Structure 1
């Protein structure tokens, strides 16, 4: 029997992060249709979840020669696997995928994940590939507006599809309290100490340094910066914490797979990015777990956090304001905090809605 046609997603690697997890979620949805899921990347810790649906290619490389070679490799892969549509999720692989799709006459979809910076000449051109899809998925209204402002993208080609969470996995009732207790013990959080959680990669713009500065204004609180990243920045965080006298209350445990338990272990979940995020998946995951969320007032989180109703917004990069918001939330009575958590959980976009909307984009082009 001939194999059904495939839908190919391309991205640099499959280690950790919202782009990577979204790729796996859409691959799962494709598997429920009459198409085969196929993902090409340089590999990583999440690649094993795809099994034979993953193809290893050096798509993390950004130099022009590598992009050219990857275009030929993707074209050959698409011919061999009977690919019907290519979906690019990051810039360097998107340039390769665009060339392959055009040479084969295949529909080309991009997901525009962020307001990419333009810090050096030619960067806008490099970024623009993400606006070249026959359909461009914007992960928030903020991103859709950015597409129009930066690239003049025809709104008829744009589809706004917010990221979503699995309400079954991110369900407070589904997490064994023993998992939560084990994490607090592993992180050496004293009994009764407020636990502040920043689930984000250890990169400067994610706001880890802002949290450390705020921690100095929050006696007794413990801050957990959950995620891996750049060792040099982790060293900077530890040095600053030492200088502020809070090193004993800062935890940098690295990557953790059990995100629901980590969120439930927190008294407050923080989003402290100093640059606008396209969406902010960690925010809606925390809201799905009915946790109090304090987020930077910029980018995508403005669309999921209604100040004082489903969370709180603070000026980005302002450690004093962040500490003040933490103190205000901790001062609320438990019933008030629970009510805001419940309202947040009730309003989060779901994984199934994101998957179905993405499949609708594929069907639109494949018809």
Structure 2
């Protein structure tokens, strides 16, 4: 079998679904006998990437100025030629423009993954976004995203393939997390006693909805004497002002100590193993929604705002019968509905909780495994390389 060299480009390798997918695909390529290159400005995931046997190339791909993008295009062109790259896969807009020019100049296939719901308020922004639909193959990470691509970029409809984000489901299973890992994280977060833990795993940024979640928890505290501790786990990625406002909001509703901002979490399975409930509070559409999928894989009840791909990942009535429910969905901004859903989830009897989480685990196992995502992505590469 011919060994191929695949180059993925992404702004940085810090944290997030696109970044995690980049590492996962690189690992799958190496395991299949191919060469995996990743070009980015670097970040905390570089060491994990290189541990798979992939190679990282540092380029300032987070830069968005036309001059920087041109320089990156030239650097990528040189990289493609010097390393014998057979296919380029872009995962974000600025580096995608550079990669598109480099790949077309070098006559190698170009793949894009539409990872986000990119803002599109005018013709200039529509053109900028369109690069994510200009691949020889375009990967959408959900049916919701595929429908968005079809509306925005009809020319890409026949080249779009839905490949949902996959997670390492076995690593997320409660039995896969040692007591030592749970204890270490609980100590780091200052968790003691047996109060239920409500977990929000998301970057600290306004559209992830932490402010609304704080308000819902305040409403719950006003109307119920239930015990709980809420953990907001995520990196603010330099958005210190938002973190300060979030702390002020928590103090303003009198929930200091009960709602804790703990920073980046590098052990998601352990975090979920400590959780009694996971909440995805986004106030803008999620193109996929990895946090909701991983909570279900970890057998943690989940509440998600009813936006974007949430109806695909979290099943609720009326789309399914009550006995097929895998979680709860609430409208964004509806503080009362969120508070009620949190209260309902925490009040579940053990048998009802076990039935719910078993259905949820079966749902995500069927659709969102890491193995399926990697196999389908590599099949896209193989098809394009065979046609090249």
TM-score w.r.t. the length of structure 2 is 0.91
Aligned equivalent of 2:319: none
In the alignment, is the contact (CA less than 8 A) between 1:5 and 1:81 conserved in 2?
no
| 1:277 corresponds to 2:293 | no
Give the aligned partner of residue 201 of structure 2: 199
Residue number among 256, 260, 267 corresponding to 1:251 in the alignment: 260
- Distance in 2, matches of 1:175 and 1:355, equals 24
1:51-104 deviation digits (Å, cap 9, x = unpaired): 361000000000000001100000000000000000000000000000001101
Deviation per CA, 1:198-253, whole angstroms, max 9, x where unpaired? 00000000011011111112333221111111211110000011111112211111
Q: Which of residues 89, 98, 102 in structure 1 aligns to 2:104?
A: 102
Q: What is the CA distance between 1:176 and its match in structure 2?
A: 1.5
Alignment RMSD (CA, Å)? 1.4
Q: CA distance change for structure 1 residues 135 and 208 in 2, over 3 Å: closer, same or farther?
A: same
The answer (yes or no) to whether the contact 2:169–2:294 under 8 Å persists in 1 is: no
Match of 2:375 among 344, 351, 356: 356
Q: Distance in 1 between matches of 2:108 and 2:381?
A: 11
Taking the aligned partners of 1:227 and 1:282, their CA distance within structure 2 comes to: 12
* Unmatched runs of 5 consecutive residues or more in structure 2: 222-226, 317-321
SS of 1:66's partner is helix
1:239-318 correspondence runs (5 A)? 239-307=248-316, 309-318=325-334
The within-5 A match list for 1:119-268 is 119=121, 122-219=124-221, 220-229=227-236, 230-268=239-277
Tell me, what secondary structure is at the counterpart of 2:135? coil
Task: Tell me the residue number matched to 2:49.
Answer: 50
Deviation, structure 1 residue 34: 4.0
- Does the CA contact (< 8 Å) of 1:197 and 1:269 recur in 2? yes
Q: Structure 1 residues 50 and 189 mapped into 2: Cα distance closer, same or farther (>3 Å)?
A: closer
Q: Report the CA distance between 1:46 and its aligned residue.
A: 0.6
Cα distance in 2, alignment partners of residues 121 and 249 from structure 1: 46
SS at match of 2:170: coil
| 2:363 is aligned with 1:347 | yes
The one-character-per-residue Cα deviations of 1:103-131 (angstroms, maximum 9, x if unpaired) are: 01110000001221124661111111000
Stretches of structure 1 that go unaligned for 5 or more consecutive residues are: none
Residue 300 (structure 1) shift: 1.2
Matched residue, 1:329: 345
**Structure 1 residue 342: deviation in Å?**
1.0
Helix, strand or coil at the partner of 1:83? coil
C-alpha deviation, 1:31, in angstroms:
1.0
Partner of 1:366: 385
* Greater alpha carbon shift after TM alignment, 356-365 vs 111-120: 111-120
Once the two structures are TM-superposed, the CA of residue 334 in structure 1 deviates from its matched residue by 1.1
TM-score, length-scaled by structure 1:
0.96
The total of aligned residue pairs comes to: 365
Contact 2:200 2:278 in 1 (8 A): yes
